[in-house]
Amino acid sequence: MKDGKILTLAIESSCDETAAAVISEGRDVLSNIISSQIDIHKQYGGVVPEIASRHHLNNVNTVVDQAIEEAGVSLDEIDLIGVTYGPGLVGALLIGLATAKAYALAADKPLIGVHHIHGHICANYIEHKELEPPFMALVISGGHTNIVEVEDYNTCRVLGGTRDDAAGEAYDKVARVLGLGYPGGPLIDKIAREGNPEAVEFKRVFLEKGSLDFSFSGIKTGVLNYINSEKQAGREINVADVAASFQAAVLDVIVAKTVGAAVDMGKDKIVLAGGVASNSMLREMLKKECEKKGIKLYYPSPVLCTDNAAMIGCAAYYRYVAGERDDLTLDAIPNLKL
């Protein structure tokens, strides 16, 4: 506690970012340190779990020290320790969890486990001080694509999710096929701006009527087949056109299902979260559809879209003030359900 305010120290290590943050009253960021391993995993075209764990182990203490120092607080003044305990890579999660437990034990502070997706949603409370539940959330990242009904600060209900690849994964795979590099999402976002989204007609996969689930694995094959048939016909591939057309096919479905869910469930707010929430076309398309339906759209700035610990601290704070506590038996759960 500092100046009567509750302080949270949070740690996130579920994938390839080692992150720690100190936040005040759940929503004010005092520090938000992110050590990204993207440059290391780039050479392999994706995250290598064993390498990720090793780097978390090397970096985590420095990152936590830096977060406390930059926040200008002492460990004594911290009220709770928040940590991601799933879903994610088990070896990666364990490093953050062991560190959080060590701090909780040594400084005698309560430990609060956070669901990574809940954290992503909470990034919006940090960005938008006036935002309160209920609302509809679209969590869209390299590992997840979920439509989530957020009833209150601690109650979320998953209405739909991907049956195969996550949206970010589809972006990354298609970018690789197009020879764009890793991570592919931002690269497709950029190059698609110069392309024609109607140049290639990729299939929009809506699944059964009324379903809020997604399927993105077919589109990678669709792009591959298109490239192969064009090459066989001796035609040049227009990468910008293919990127724009792929993106249009994926986003048409995502936007229709998300806005449809909000309308059906009587929600007047949609909240975007996760790495793909940075996508400029997704924001534009959603904004347009939301305006038509009188829905207000919220999304975090890019630094709070990708993995960070500030969002985990926010989620931990709301569990803490609701009286929830975990103990040192808290375990990493790679496929943790929301």
Under the rule (CB under 5 A), what is the footprint of Zn ion?
141, 307
* 3-class secondary structure, 148: strand
- CB distance 157 to 149 below 8 Å: yes
| Separation CA 32–CA 189 (nearest Å) | 26
Site map 102..121 versus ligand KG4, x via CB under 6 A: --------------------
Per-residue binding letters, 11-40, with ligand KG4 (x by CB under 6 A): ----x-------------------------
Q: Which is nearer to ligand KG4, 113 or 274 (CB)?
A: 274
Contact between 5 and 78 under an 8 Å Cβ cutoff? The reply is: no
Span from 26-34, 70-78, 178-186, 283-291 in contact with ligand KG4 (CB under 6 A): 178-186
> What is the number of H-type helices and E-type strands within the chain?
11, 10
Coil/strand/helix, residue 303: helix
Q: Which two tokens stand for residue 165?
A: 């690849």
- Measured CA to CA in angstroms, residue 73 lies from 62, 106, 290 at distances of 16, 17, 41
Choose the contact partner of 26 out of ligand KG4, Zn ion, none; CB within 5 to 8 A by kind.
Answer: none
Cβ at position 234, least distance to Zn ion in Å: 42
- The binder of 160, among Zn ion, ligand KG4, none, by C-beta within 5 to 8 A per type, is none
Strand partners, 8: 23, 80
Which parts of 186-205 interact with ligand KG4 (CB under 6 A)? 186, 189
CB 271 within 8 A of CB 244: no
Residue 276 interacting entry, from ligand KG4, Zn ion, none, C-beta within 5 to 8 Å by type: ligand KG4
Q: Does 86 bind ligand KG4 (CB under 6 A)?
A: no
Of the residues 82, 184, 222, 313, which one makes contact with ligand KG4 according to CB under 6 A:
184
Burial (0-12, 13-18, 19+ Cβ within 10 Å), 17: buried
Check binding of 306 to ligand KG4 (CB under 6 A): yes
**Which structure tokens are listed for 275?**
């790495």
CA angle 53-59-63, nearest 5°? 130
Report residue 301 as tokens.
Answer: 């700035």
Residue 326's binding partner out of Zn ion, ligand KG4, none, with CB under 5 to 8 Å set by partner kind? none
CB of 113 to Zn ion, least distance (A): 16
| Count of residues that interact with ligand KG4, criterion CB under 6 A | 19
Is 165 near ligand KG4 (CB under 6 A)?
no
Q: Which residues pair with 269 in a beta bridge?
A: 296
Partner from Zn ion, ligand KG4, none contacting 172, C-beta within 5 to 8 A by type: ligand KG4
The residue range among 145-153, 180-188, 211-219, 227-235 that interacts with ligand KG4, by the rule CB under 6 A, is 180-188
To the nearest whole angstrom, how small is the minimum distance from the Cβ of residue 128 to ligand KG4? 18
Helix or strand (DSSP H, E) at 150: strand 145-152
Closer to ligand KG4 at the Cβ: 109 or 115?
115
- Strand, coil or helix: 134: coil
Angle value at C-alpha 58, between 57 and 61, nearest 5 degrees: 80
Q: Which of ligand KG4, Zn ion, none has residue 317 at its interface (CB below 5 to 8 Å by kind)?
A: none
Q: Which residues bind ligand KG4 (CB under 6 A)?
A: 15, 141-143, 168, 171-172, 183-186, 189, 274-276, 278-279, 306-307
